[in-house]
Amino acid sequence: MTPMIAVADLWKVFGPRAERVPGSALADLPRAELRARTGCLAAVRDVSFEVRPGEVFVVMGLSGSGKSTLVRCLTRLIEPTSGEISIGGEPVRAMTPKRLRDLRRRQVAMVFQHFGLLPHRQVLDNVAYGLEIQGVTKAERHRKATEMLALVGLDGQEHHYPDQLSGGMQQRVGLARALATDPEVLLFDEPFSALDPLIRRDMQAEVRRLHAEVGKTLVFITHDLAEALTLGDRIAVLRDGELVQVGTPEELVGAPVDSYVADFVRDVPRSDVLTLRWIVRDPAPGELVEDVPLPHGTVIRDAVHRVMRAERPIQVVDGEKRLGVIDADQMLAALVSHHRQVPA
Amino acid sequence: MSAPTLTRPGGRVLEKAAEADAPRRGGATRRRTAGTVLIVLAVVAYLVFRTDGAPDSDDAAAFRFFDSVRDWVDANRDTSPFFLYGINYVRLGVRLLVDVVQAGLYGLGFAGLVAAVSAIALVLAGWRTGLLAFLGFLAFGVLGLWDESVDTLVLTLSAVLLSVLIGVPLGVLAARVRWVGATLRPVLDVMQIMPTFAYLAPMTLLFLIGEPAAVIATMIYAVPATIRITALGISEVPPTAVEAATALGSTRWQLLSKVRLPMARTTLALAVNQTIMLALSMVVITALIDAPGLGQNIVNALERVNVGAAFNAGVAIVILAVVLDRITTNAARQTRIHHARRSRLIQTGIAIVVVIAAALVTINPESLPQWSAAAPVNDLVGWIELHWFDATEGIKNRVSEFLLNPLESVLVTTPWWLFVAAVAAFGTLVSGWRAALIAALSAAGIAGLGLWQHSMQTLATVLVAILLTMVIGVSVGVFCARHDRLATAVRPVLDAAQTMPSFVYLLPAVALFGNSRFTAIVAAIIFAVPPVVRLVERGVRDVPPTVVEAALSAGSTPRQLLWKVQLPMARGGLLLAANQGIVMVLAMVVVGGLVGAGALGYDVVAGFSQRELFGEGLAAGLAIVLLGILLDRLTQGFHDSKGPRR
C-alpha cells in the first residue's frame, strides 16, 4: 500500500546560511554546539517516517522538540531546508506555488493550537472560508459549512462570532473549517493544549468519533502522552528535532528504545496499554492450565477478572501458537509496576 | 560636583578625582565630566569670540537664489515639461477632486448636509454621536459661519481622501515589504517634525495659491500618520490567523483582502481618525496661502487683533474637530462590536431616505437664530486688559527680562561656527555622533541661509517655551500620576486639547497677552503641555509597583519616593516628553509669527503676502525645517534611554 505521507531525511534549520548544515559535518553536532558555532537552530533533524492511509499518526515531544515545525514543513507553511516529502505520492517540495495552494485547499487541512479563527467573520463564514477562497458559490459553501457544524456538534451557533464562543467551541469551529474542504489528510497542531482538561477529553473523543465516521488520515501533534496513547495508531517520539522511536502505543510502553522514551512512558499505567503477550511466562513442566485460553491481543486490564478468579494459570495463544501462560503473580506485577512520581 | 567645576578651567584634575571617588560608575562620571568641560570651553569660547550680533541682511545670497527660482518657475510654468506634464496635472487633478467634493457637499444644501452628517454619525457611531453631529452642524449656521465651515470641511475631506488613497497602500507595503518600510521610516520621521508653516511656501511655488496647494500641503502633513498607523495595524494582525488562512490555500491577495485588512480595521479606522484631525488642523493654517474656510476668519481677525471675531471661528473649528473626532473614534470602537447585519441595513436604508428628503428641502442657514460670541468675548478681553494688565504685563516682562532677553542676546551674538561646534559636541554627548552630525549640518545650513539673527531669536523663544512647558508639564504630570482623582478630572481636558487644531491655541494667548513675542510662548505652552503631561504621567505610573512598595517599606517619605525612585525611573518618559514637546513648541512658536512673535515665523508670513520678500520667506521656511531637525536630533538620543540610566 502506498503511504499517504512519506517523509525522508527531512531537515529544517533556522538561521544564517542554513542550507549548508544538512549533509555536512555540522549535521552531527549536538543542538547547542551547532547554535554556538553557526548561529543556526536545527529544529528538525534528519526525520523520516511514513503515514498509512486512514491511520492516526501522532508526533509527540516536549516543547521545543521541533514537532510544530515538522508538521508545518509537510505543507511548506515552513519551507524545509532539505529532504523529501510526498503526499499522496506527489513530491511536495517540487510543487509550484499554484499546485501547493491547491494541495492546501483540497488535500490537506490543518487545525491549530490557537484556533486561528477570523474574529470579523461569523462562525458560518469562518467554516466556509476554505470553500470561499476556492470560489465556491455562497449557497453551496454555506450548505456545506452548516453540515460541518452539525457534524462537530455546533448546530445553531452559525451566526455567532468566534469571541462569543468558549475555547472548546472555537476549536470545534476550527475542526469544522478543516473538514469543510473534505481533505484527505488532517493535520492537528496541539489542537487541545489550550483547552481545559475536561473539554480536552471531550474533544479527543470527538476526534476519535470523527475519525471513525469520516476515515481521514490524521497527523496529530501533541506534548501530552495520554493524548498520544488514546488517539494514536502509531506514535513518533521527537527529541531535539530527531525521531527517537516510532511505534504503536504498546511498543512504546512495552519496549522503549532508550531511557528518554522510557522516562516518558514511565507513568503510564502499563496494564491499560500492554497486552497479555508482554507478561506471559513459560509454563512450568507439567503445569496444569485452564481449559479456555486467552488471545494474546487482550489488554491486561481486561483480563484481570478472569485471571484472578481462575484456579490455575491461563494459556495465552496467538491463533494456534502458544505464547505461554499467565497467573495472578504476573497480573499483580503488571498492575502495580508503573511508578508514580514521588517527591524526592 | 558641578558648582565648583564651572569655575575651574581645564577640568583634568577633576576627572581624576571623580574617578577615584566612584570607580564603578566610570561611564556616567566620564560623561558628566566631559559635559562640564564642554560647557566651560563653550563659555570661554563665547566670551572670547562673541560678535555684536549684526541684524540679518535683506539681500542674502539664499534669498536671491530663491527669488530667482521663483522667477524661473513663474516664467516657465506653462512651458517647462516638468510643470506641463507633471505638476500642473497634479494641480488639475486635485482641483477636480476638491470641486467634486465641494459640489457634493454644497449640492446637499444646508438641511441635506446636516442630515447626512448626522445620519453617518448615527449609523457608524451610535445615536449619541448622531445627536452631537446634528447639534454641531446646526451650530455652524447659528454662528453665521456655514459657508466657511463647509469650505473647511471640503478641503479636509479632500485631503483625507488623498491621504487614505496614498497612505493606506503605502502603509500596507511598509508593513509587508521590508525595504519599503526601511526606506519610508526616515522620510516619515522628517515629515513629522516639519513645522506646518515650513512647507506652505514651496507648495505655492509649485501649485500656486488656493485650494490645490492647500489640499496637497495638508495631505503631506497628514499622510505620515496614515502610513504609520496602517503599517502598525497590518503588522499587528495575529500570525495564527494568517497562518490558518495560508494553510487553507489563500493567495496573497486573499490574505490581504480577507484576513489582514479586515482584522486591522479598528486600527485602520483609528488611522482615518488621526488623518482627519491632522488634516483639519492643517487646513485651517492653509488660510495663509489663500485657502477658503474658517482659517481665513481667524487670520483676518488676528491681523486686526479682534479676538472676539476670531473666537467665533475658533468655536466652529473646535466643534468641527469634536464632531469629526467623535464620529471616527466611535466608529472605530463600533468595529469591535458585532451587529446584526439586517438591522444595520435597515438603519442605513432609512438614513439614506431621510438624507435625500432633507436634500430636497431648502433652508437658508441665515434664517436660523443667529448668535455671536464676538461682543461678549471682546468685552471680556477688554476687562482682562483693564484689570489684569499689571499681572499679565508683569509676567510678560519678568520672563522677557530674565529669560528671553539674556538668552536671545547670547544666542544672537554667538558666532555661527561656535554654535555649530557646540551643537556637534553636545549632540555627540547626548545622542551619539550620527545625530550630532545631522544636527551640526542643520546648524551650518541655518547659518548659510543668511537668517542667523532671526533663527537665533526663534530658537531663544523655543528654548524658553520648552523650559516653561516642561516645568508645567512635569509638575502636572507628576501630580496626576500621584492623585487618581485629579487624573480622571484632567484626562478629558487633555483629550479635548489634543483634538483641537493648533491655530485655536493662539486665541486665549492673544486674549491674555496681546500681540507680542510672549504670546507665542504662551500659545506654545498651551499647545505642548497636554502631551507632555500625558507622557510624564505614564512614565511615573509605569514605575513597577513592587519598586514603589519596596521604597515605601524602607521608610521613604512621599517626597523621597518621588525624587529618589519615581522620577529617576520615569526618566525615559520625561526625556521622550522633552523630545516631543520641543517639536510641538517650535511649530507653535513659528505660527506665533502671526501674532507678533516676529523672527522666522514673521518672515514666512511676509513671504506669502509680499512678492519681494518671497525669497526670504522661503529661506525662513527652510531655516525652520533645519531648526526642527536640529532640535529633534539633539534630543533624539532620549528615545533610546527608556529606563533609568545604568
* C-alpha cell at position B79: 512651458
Average pLDDT, chain B: 79
Pair (B643, B596) in one structural domain: yes
State how far residue B543 is from chain A, nearest Cα, in angstroms: 32
Report residue B644's pLDDT band, with 50, 70 and 90 as the boundaries. Answer: very low
Q: Is B247 on the interface with A (CB under 8 A)?
A: yes
* C-alpha cell at position B477: 504630570
pLDDT value, residue A93:
92
Pair (A162, A290) in one structural domain: no
User: What does residue B64 show for φ and ψ, rounded to 5 degrees?
Assistant: -60, -40
First-to-last C-alpha distance (Å) of chain B? 19
Write out residues in chain A with pLDDT < 70, as ranges.
337-344
Which domain does A83 fall in, by range? 51-268
Helix (H) or strand (E) holding B599: helix B599-609
How many separate domains does chain B show?
A: 2
pLDDT value, residue B28:
66
Residue A41, domain member (yes or no): no
Tell me which long-range contacts B384-388 makes (C-beta under 8 A, separation of at least 24).
B384/B511, B384/B512, B385/B514, B388/B512
**3-state SS assignment for residue A318:** strand
**Interchain proximity B338–A132, CB inside 8 Å:** no
* C-alpha cell at position B130: 448622531
Residue B44, domain member (yes or no): no
From A268, A288, A322, the end of a domain falls on: A268
Average pLDDT over residues B541-569: 81
Report residue B157's pLDDT band, with 50, 70 and 90 as the boundaries. Answer: very high
Q: Is pLDDT at B70 greater than 80 in this prediction?
A: no
Which chain B residue has its CA at the smallest distance from A133's CA? B250
Q: Is pLDDT at B569 greater than 60 in this prediction?
A: yes
Position B255, amino acid = L
CATH code: domain of residue B644: 1.10.3720.10
Residue of A313 and B28 predicted with greater confidence: A313
pLDDT value, residue B26:
52
Q: Does the interface predicted TM-score (ipTM) exceed 0.90?
A: no
Pair (A301, A327) in one structural domain: yes
Pair (A106, A212) in one structural domain: yes
Average pLDDT over residues B393-421: 79
User: What does residue B65 show for φ and ψ, rounded to 5 degrees?
Assistant: -60, -50
pLDDT value, residue B25:
47
**3-state SS assignment for residue B342:** helix
Report residue B527's pLDDT band, with 50, 70 and 90 as the boundaries. Answer: confident
* C-alpha cell at position A31: 543542538
Which domain does B601 fall in, by range? 388-646
pLDDT value, residue A50:
93
Pair (B410, B288) in one structural domain: no
How does pLDDT run across A66-95, given as a tens digit for each residue? Answer: 899 999 999 898 999 999 999 988 999 999
pLDDT value, residue B640:
52
Residue whose C-alpha is closest to residue B146's, from B316, B360, B281, B371: B316
Residue whose C-alpha is closest to residue B42's, from B424, B491, B527: B424
Residue whose C-alpha is closest to residue B577's, from B496, B494, B514: B494
CB A4, CB A52: distance < 8 Å: yes
Report residue B638's pLDDT band, with 50, 70 and 90 as the boundaries. Answer: low
Helix (H) or strand (E) holding B401: none
Pair (A89, A229) in one structural domain: yes
Among the ranges given (A251-255, A256-260, B65-69, B352-356), the one the predictor scored with the smallest mean pLDDT: B65-69
Residue A40, domain member (yes or no): no
Pair (B474, B619) in one structural domain: yes
- Out of B54-58, B228-232, B616-620, the most confident range is B228-232
CB atoms within 10 A of CB A186: 23
**Interchain proximity A118–B262, CB inside 8 Å:** yes
Average pLDDT over residues B111-116: 84
Residue of B338 and B542 predicted with greater confidence: B542
**Interchain proximity A104–B245, CB inside 8 Å:** no
* C-alpha cell at position A257: 528504545
pLDDT value, residue A337:
64
**Interchain proximity B241–A161, CB inside 8 Å:** no
A-B C-beta contacts closer than 8 Å? 72
State how far residue B117 is from chain A, nearest Cα, in angstroms: 26
**Interchain proximity B249–A105, CB inside 8 Å:** yes
pLDDT value, residue B13:
34
Radius of gyration of chain B (CA): 27
Among the ranges given (A219-223, A317-321, B522-526, B641-645), the one the predictor scored with the smallest mean pLDDT: B641-645
Q: Is B259 on the interface with A (CB under 8 A)?
A: yes
pLDDT value, residue B22:
39
pLDDT value, residue A342:
45
CA dihedral B218, B224, B225, B227 (to 10 degrees): 120
From A268, A289, A319, the end of a domain falls on: A268
Pair (A131, A262) in one structural domain: yes
CATH code: domain of residue A231: 3.40.50.300
Residue numbers in A near B262 (CB within 8 A): 118, 120-121
From A209, A234, A268, the end of a domain falls on: A268
pLDDT value, residue A163:
87
Residue B263, domain member (yes or no): no
- Out of B172-186, B371-385, B591-605, the most confident range is B172-186
Distance of CA B58 to the CA centre of its chain: 30
Q: Is pLDDT at B12 greater than 60 in this prediction?
A: no
Q: Is pLDDT at B563 greater than 60 in this prediction?
A: yes
pLDDT value, residue A51:
93
Q: Is pLDDT at B9 greater than 50 in this prediction?
A: no
